[in-house]
Amino acid sequence: AVKRTIDCATADFVGGGCTLTNAREAQSEQAGVYTGLATRAGYNCQVEKYAPLPAQTRGVDVVEMKCSNRTDGAIGRFPLTGAPEIIDCAHAPIANYRCVFTEPSAAMPSLTNDLKSFNRNSCAVSESRFVGATADGKSYMEVACADGMQGYFIEYTRGPPITVTNVIVCSQARGIGGGCKLPSNVAAGRPGAPAAPA
């Protein structure tokens, strides 16, 4: 009985891949398909490379996309019916995904913008750590600031879409997941260190 079909664009891991189909042409064609899907979702990405990811819901095509026209990539969730969803690599851990094509530094501006949305304008995010999720659907990211000042916990609803709901300075976040643990945040929290804006 047939249990699964795998298109030739993504079948390299099965016995060396397809031999009757030009896999490179198939991959290029499929990259064009994902470029179109991403564009329709409002994400400007010329897909240079992609990798299929496990779907958490039936009937949804999930891929990580590397873009030739930008340094930050994303996860695309493309259902057979309904609206597509784009999750940038900074927020991918909240949706239980991890990007491998995008350098962490390229994803940090998105988290910096999350802080700015709550008037935390002095922190340029230099590092991040996914802390975890609660039973009521909240997720937390710890972020460190490039200037070495105390960082923050950013609280999100998992969505879709993923939405920022709160920003908490590290000194006030000790009761969440054990508090801030990124090295620069630990150093900034020591006695005598300057405090971040509340």
Instruction: Determine the pLDDT at residue 29.
Output: 80
Using CA atoms, how far apart are residues 47 and 69, in angstroms rounded to an integer?
A: 8
CA-nearest of 173, 183, 94 to 130 is: 94
Structure tokens at 171: 């000194």
> What is the reported pTM?
0.79
CA-nearest of 54, 43, 113, 48 to 85 is: 43
Instruction: Determine the pLDDT at residue 25.
Output: 52
**CA R_g for the chain:** 20
Q: What confidence tens digit (pLDDT) does each residue in 36-51 have?
A: 999 999 999 999 999 8
Q: What confidence tens digit (pLDDT) does each residue in 60-107 have?
A: 999 999 999 999 999 999 998 888 999 999 999 999 999 999 999 999
